[in-house]
Chain A
């Protein structure tokens, strides 16, 4: 239970922390106003946002998630814009050469996308890949984790010659060896397909700057100039999406996209089979077994529903039973005798006809 002393201590500690950051802020302001231009331009604006965001703790997780996404994009945006301006300033004059109107800004923007911290070579000068990479990390977390795990598992196989994977397996564990060979082959197929996909995305990024150049050239006239970094960013987004659509609607992209998806499923399928093998060994029910049950159950339910929806035959059965009962009642002993004599007459007549036809 909190005592009065501990409550006072907590309040004092909160007040001390607020005082600390206030003093830090005042110091930062004083220092910034005395710094030289060259020193200031090297300080990333986004780091200010980074520190700022740590002061924020939303009461609900959904708001923290939103803030996280917001800050990520805001930091990237500020970095791109600051870098663009820094590089633009570094461009040799003349800035206003009519023959090179768009190029300096496009070059600056292109290089601004080399955001510090990027560790994948294909993300350099490749904002489209950056955007896709971020989307994929959100959308396929479980698949990405699986792929990362697979990468570690399959890494040794990448050093083997591809031909080794086709060597037939022998012995007690041949089935397992064959399976691992298939898994490694699937992984290599996936890497190859992914490489082709990444090449197209890079092409799209490169194309986006060509289109941006044209769009900027169109705006080099009074009344159409862009008057903010945001306007430049929005124009670049238009150019990037246009470039992406060009590539994404091509026959080559269709083939490559299909190859990536199919290869990814190939890897996943192999991993799932391995998981099932292990599950069977430990007596754990598997996906295949459950699917089998679900499928049978589904078929049974469909059949039941089909039968339930058949027309109601009960009334028809009742009517038919009444008819049979009436017919049976009609077939009384007197009626049976008269019917017998009619039948005998019919038979006699038929036999006379037959004997006549034989004589003829």
Chain B
């Protein structure tokens, strides 16, 4: 028996359906509106350099006593958490009564080239946390770190545990040397000093290229063949375009912060092995004694689950919870399943620990 049960007529029918979809798509593309992102109203609370600290406004006033600050990665734009009406973790959290803040890092340029991890973690993040604490007259707040922002949040929480009431890490790499971590694997042979000394800031295009080459055929070819399946649906095409915008709307990475992040985290794996210093401050994950919720995606090819799971063993808290989400690195924010599962899980966990 052959593996393929294909007749010439089937092939022709398939090819014609393919072309019909493209033809319909040509009409749809004429009707598609400009893609916008961010569906939730927000106000500016604090600015520093290119950083803006936002507070989101829900339909009702927040009921949570302790505000939640989202710290996103530097490598992508943070509006992924509030992408559109039906794909917004922020909107879902607000509807549950959470008081949500977010740091927008902005778009660095070469004048920011000498910003270090010390500036980001002991500087920007700390000052944003202090601003929120002062506004609410609280000694500490809830922190939600996403991806690289999660790594930053772990560092911050170990250096300033008194400022963090509850910590949530989403798709956060902790152990950078697991066998299935392709990104980490590739950095190990790089001369990062030569890289940063030559480029200064690392261009966003180069970062995006690196991510695309993790799955070259799926992300550069199959994705666009799959687009044809939905090309006759205006809403789906707009959703696709919005995702495309986010994927390629990436900021450059400031040179010195990039240097240290790759050398200390990716190459030396200091977050778990020890010896990590942010400025003059030592990072000791055992000092994280506040409750921790660790959320990771089971099909994550950028931050494999094996990189996130070890968090349980390296922190000092006795209140550790883990949530494994069935999806990928991006799906955990934007899939309909994620909208149903993740924000309620975050809210329920926080509610029990914010009394």
Q: Is A339 an interface residue (CB 8 A)?
A: no
A227-B5, A254-B185, A258-B189 as given contacts; A140 in contact with B217, CB under 8 Å: no
Residues of A within 8 A of B30 (CB): 58-59, 63
Q: For the complex, give the distance between the alpha carbons of A268 and B15 in Å.
A: 45
Task: Find out whether the CB atom of A237 lies under 8 angstroms from the CB atom of B241.
Answer: no
Interface residue count on the A side (C-beta < 8 Å): 90
Q: At the interface with chain A, which of B36-44, B62-70, B90-98, B219-227?
A: B219-227
Q: Is A76 an interface residue (CB 8 A)?
A: yes
Q: Is A124 an interface residue (CB 8 A)?
A: no
Q: At the interface with chain B, which of A165-173, A286-294, A315-323, A341-349?
A: A286-294
Task: Find out whether the CB atom of B221 lies under 8 angstroms from the CB atom of A291.
Answer: no
Task: Find out whether the CB atom of B185 lies under 8 angstroms from the CB atom of A85.
Answer: no
Interface string of A213-232 (1 = CB under 8 A from B): 00011111110011111101
Q: For the complex, give the distance between the alpha carbons of A241 and B213 in Å.
A: 10
A-B pair count, CB < 8 Å, reads 207
Task: Find out whether the CB atom of B114 lies under 8 angstroms from the CB atom of A217.
Answer: no
A249-B180, A254-B186 as given contacts; A298 in contact with B114, CB under 8 Å: yes
Residues of A within 8 A of B162 (CB): none
Q: Which of B233-259 contact A (CB under 8 A)?
A: 241, 244-245
Which listed residue, B18, B113, B198, touches A269 by the CB 8 Å rule? B198
The smallest C-beta distance from A81 to any residue of chain B, in angstroms, reads: 7
Which listed residue, B185, B219, B244, touches A248 by the CB 8 Å rule? B185
Residues of A within 8 A of B321 (CB): none
Which listed residue, A85, A134, A216, A294, touches B220 by the CB 8 Å rule? A134
Q: Which residue of B lies closest to A85 (CB)?
A: B11
Residues of B within 8 A of A291 (CB): 110, 113, 200
| Other 17 A-B pairs with CB < 8 A, given A225-B5, A241-B215 | A62-B245, A70-B227, A134-B220, A135-B219, A135-B220, A139-B205, A229-B14, A244-B215, A248-B182, A248-B214, A254-B188, A261-B190, A261-B191, A268-B199, A291-B110, A294-B110, A299-B114
6 inter-chain pairs at a CB distance below 8 angstroms, sorted by A residue, are A60-B32, A101-B1, A140-B205, A216-B3, A237-B222, A240-B217
Q: Which residues of B are at the interface with A, using a C-beta cutoff of 8 A?
A: 1-6, 8, 10-11, 14-15, 18-19, 22-23, 25-26, 29-30, 32, 34-35, 110-111, 113-115, 119, 123, 179-180, 182, 185-186, 188-191, 194-195, 197-200, 205-206, 208-209, 212-222, 224-225, 227-228, 231, 241, 244-245
